[in-house]
Amino acid sequence: MGSEVNDFEEVKFRVETAQKMVGSATISMDPDTLEHATTAVEAARSQLEIMKSVATDLDEPFLMNEEKKLNKCEHQLNEARH
């Protein structure tokens, strides 16, 4: 891990990337695009969980907000698959 600031920025970047990829995937409904979106969501979730393990109380609101965004992405992907 690098500096915590960069690692928190990485969470934000990965969640934003997942949001964009899920948006594209759910519009196109292309199986490959859906798979890439799933991978992006998994990468964001992994980074989020790592940062939750080292977070302080001051970090909680940021991480909770990013987790809400990620949960929405996961829900959209699940809806698109069914």
Read off the pTM.
0.90
pLDDT, one tens digit for every residue, the chain (82 residues): 556 568 899 999 999 999 999 999 999 999 999 999 999 999 999 999 999 999 999 999 999 999 999 999 999 999 998 8
Domain enclosing residue 8, as ranges: 4-81
DSSP, res 82: -
Structure tokens at 57: 């109380």
Helix, strand, coil content of the chain in percent (nearest 5) = 90, 0, 10
- Count of domains forming the chain: 1
